[in-house]
Structure 1
Amino acid sequence: MTQSGSLGGFLWRWIFALVLVFGTFNPTDYSYISWALGSASQFGPAMAIVGLIQLIGWIVFLRATFFSLGWLGIVLGVALLGSLVWLLVDMGWLSLDSGHAMVWVVLVVISLLLAFGMSWSHIRRRLSGQVDVDDVEDGRG
């Protein structure tokens, strides 16, 4: 199996998704949103560059996720991951008593959904033997 379709490939995509999601927002003061909305912050070129890099990352991840999974796949993914969280809470392995804990769990779920969206074409090809090809406009109208 190639690196792109392996567990290692999925883990790399998840790491990048975690960095993107947590870098954009998290309950600590260490995120782009906290930086940009902080009272001592002044918008400048560094903030613009970081914001544009994050915007590009979000567009790449969201576009791949929507094309790979579609709305039905996204809804099923959210339902599956939400049920998994429910199971972990029910078993006592996870506590959502604080608001911050719930935010962290939601952010991890979003990152997992983005990683699955980025990886789904590879997973589907391995399971079914079918290759996904994005619809490409041929210039005819």
Structure 2
Amino acid sequence: MSVPRFDWRGVVARGLFCLFVVFALYNPSGYSYLHWLAQGFGWFWLKLAVGTVLAVVLLMLWRTTSGVLKRPGIVLVLLFCLGIGMSWAHVTGLPVLGADSLLVWALLSLAVLFTTGLSYSHLDHRLGGITHTEEIK
């Protein structure tokens, strides 16, 4: 069976998708699904439909990520994000413990975690020839 070529564009596309989903659910700018919900019960059925789609996509992302990376991989990716974030704050002089900066770093770390979970199997297969499969009974 021929495996299609997987390159950096696939990782970037997955990363942009994960950023969109995570920041669509909540972001500090005031334009997110949770902010839209807080505005009241207008457009109830549309809000319910959008929320259902977001929940399904987030659950699929989490299930894929936790299935591929397992707990040690998740911890390593989050520690990597913490190290990059602290280094970036140290180099640029940005405040580390501000509420908005912590929230943005947490959201970015979640998007990086999902991107890693979506891309790891493809990269591992490409580099090591190992194929990840899940047996469904």
Which TM-score applies when normalising by structure 2?
0.89
Q: Determine the structure 1 residue equivalent to 2:129.
A: 129
Give the structure 2 partner of residue 71 of structure 1.
71
Deviation at 1:93, TM superposition (A): 6.1
Secondary structure of the residue that 2:92 maps to in structure 1?
coil
Structure 2 residue 40 is matched with structure 1 residue 48: no
1:33 paired with 2:34, answer: yes
Tell me, in whole angstroms, the C-alpha distance in 2 between the residues paired with 1:93 and 1:12.
Answer: 30
Distance 1:94 1:134, change over 3 A: farther
Question: SS of 1:35's equivalent?
Answer: helix
Query: 8 Å contact 2:86–2:96 — kept in the other structure?
Result: no
Offset of residue 115 of structure 1: 0.6
Aligned to 2:90: 90
Residue aligned with 2:134, SS: coil
Structure 2: how far apart are the matches of 1:2 and 1:97? 44
For the residues of structure 2 that align with 1:71 and 1:37, how far apart are their CA atoms? Answer: 33
Q: CA–CA distance in 2 between the matches of 1:134 and 1:55?
A: 23
- Offset of residue 81 of structure 1: 1.2
Amino acid at match of 1:8: R
Aligned residues: 135
AA aligned opposite 1:9 = G
Structure 1's consecutive aligned runs of 4 or more residues displaced over 4 angstroms after TM superposition are none
Contact persistence 2:14–2:119 (CA under 8 A): yes
- Give structure 2 stretches of 5+ with no counterpart: none
| Distance in structure 2 (CA, Å) of the matches to 1:93 and 1:57 | 36
Paired position in structure 1 for 2:111: 111
| One-letter amino acid of the counterpart of residue 57, structure 1 | V
Cα distance, 1:95 vs. partner?
Answer: 3.8
Cα separation, 1, equivalents of 2:95 and 2:122: 34
Query: Using the alignment, how far apart are the partners of 2:23 and 2:15 within structure 1?
Result: 12
Aligned to 2:16: 15
Conservation of the 8 A alpha-carbon contact between 1:67 and 1:134: no
Specify the code of the residue in structure 2 equivalent to 1:84: I
* Structure 1 unaligned residues grouped into runs of 5+: none
